[in-house]
Amino acid sequence: MAKAQMMFPAGFRWGTATAAYQVEGHNTHSDWWAWEQVDGRILHNHKAGQASNWWANAEADLDAAAHMGTNAHRLSLEWSRIEPEPSVFDQNALDRYRQILQALHDRGIEPMVTLHHFSNPLWLVEKGDFNSQIVVSYFQRYTAKVVAALGDLIPLWITINEPMVYMFMRYLVGAFPAPQKKGLLAGMEAVKHMLLCHAAAYHTIKDSYPAAQVGVAKNFPVFQAKPGSYFPARWWAGQVNFWFNELWMQAMVNGRLRTFIGSTPIANLAGSFDFVGVNYYTRFYVKFPPLGGFYDPSWGPEAVVSDGHYGEVYPAGLYQVIQNALNYHKPIYITENGLPDEDDDLRPSFILTHLREVWRAISFCYPVMGYYHWSLVDNFEWDRGWTQRFGLISLDPETQARDMRPSGRLYRDICHLNGISSEMAAQYTPALLATMFPGESPQSPAWQG
């Protein structure tokens, strides 16, 4: 019986993704480092510590990424390392980043670099960070330093990772290191300043490297009212979708930020993105009225839910958010997609079913240029510490022992084939064969003669 394959276009980026604070270790000038020291803030009072030891030896995991056959990797720079004190730039830190970026190029892996991924220099927080307009000139100056020192090695840039998640977790939930002010109004003010930072960084990069591609990584959850809900819940789901998913994107398109009472212009913002970075993890059922939380974590009897009730495995949502991203008329990169799954019983089918959605989108000529799996290796999962493991490679943070998970071997096979196949389903997740490749399953009529 011929094997079935879903092939991807030549040059498709097969990537993995990480963030500086989560993998480097000992980022002692970051607001996260100070935040972690107080008991009760991180689950089980876990600490990032040496994290995945990338500051000392990112190369070990980059060797594994090369062995897997990946050709792309998304990583971030830690601002607090590069500028540990205001106006004091650390040349050794820039040199080390240069080494890591060069190590990626040497392995045939194209870097995509994020300038801000959830972590701030402590000194910036003292100055009010995103609640003070001054952050814009600081961010612009930091970007200029990075461009001058490393720009020749960076073809793809993300200015800010998941601005709305950052706003939500910091200003509304309070699970991320505290800003000086809190609440919705302060959060919206921060969004405005993040947009200004994005615009400033975009133009700073493009002035020196016009061919560089610059965007943001935007988390796009699917928000839905539970099936059978009445109108108020459906209306509310639409509202949540607008404020969380659309607001930021619309501002980048037309240069105006919607507010509760109108809209406000943001200088140099309109059109300041070359691609849409889609981070996709899950679907949320939105609850109305939103008392005691805006979403309903009871997923329903059929739902497959990942470790720590992180979220429902919902591959169709990836196709939905890609379709939605077409509205912005730019190339699309799946800049994060993954799940916490320590024993790896869900990840192989998660990868295959999500990639099938990417393949479907590409089959309709949607411009999806690459897929970056979160994550290459287990890393420090913010307020959830080490309780959730997203890696294709498992890590014991104490001993630093690593092991390729079966899903890592599956991803290796995918990168080498440049596609997914029924053989992979048969080998890594046989239960999926009948639904994903019906013609290849022993239950199919073709098999039965």
Residues that bind ligand BGC (CB under 6 A): 19, 22, 161-162, 165, 219, 279, 336, 374, 381, 390
> Least distance in Å: CB of 397 to ligand BGC?
15
User: 320 — phi, psi (to 5°)?
Assistant: -60, -45
What residue type is 153 in one-letter code?
A: L
> Least distance in Å: CB of 355 to ligand BGC?
18
Residue nearest to ligand BGC (CB): 19
Which is closer to ligand BGC, CB of 161 or CB of 421? Answer: 161
Which is closer to ligand BGC, CB of 204 or CB of 219? Answer: 219
Which is closer to ligand BGC, CB of 13 or CB of 373? Answer: 373
User: 191 — phi, psi (to 5°)?
Assistant: -60, -45
Which is closer to ligand BGC, CB of 78 or CB of 162? Answer: 162
Which is closer to ligand BGC, CB of 213 or CB of 219? Answer: 219
> Least distance in Å: CB of 99 to ligand BGC?
23
> Least distance in Å: CB of 316 to ligand BGC?
20
Between CA 132 and CA 419 the distance in angstroms is: 47
> Least distance in Å: CB of 221 to ligand BGC?
10
Which is closer to ligand BGC, CB of 19 or CB of 124? Answer: 19
> Least distance in Å: CB of 50 to ligand BGC?
17
Which is closer to ligand BGC, CB of 342 or CB of 440? Answer: 342
> Least distance in Å: CB of 379 to ligand BGC?
7
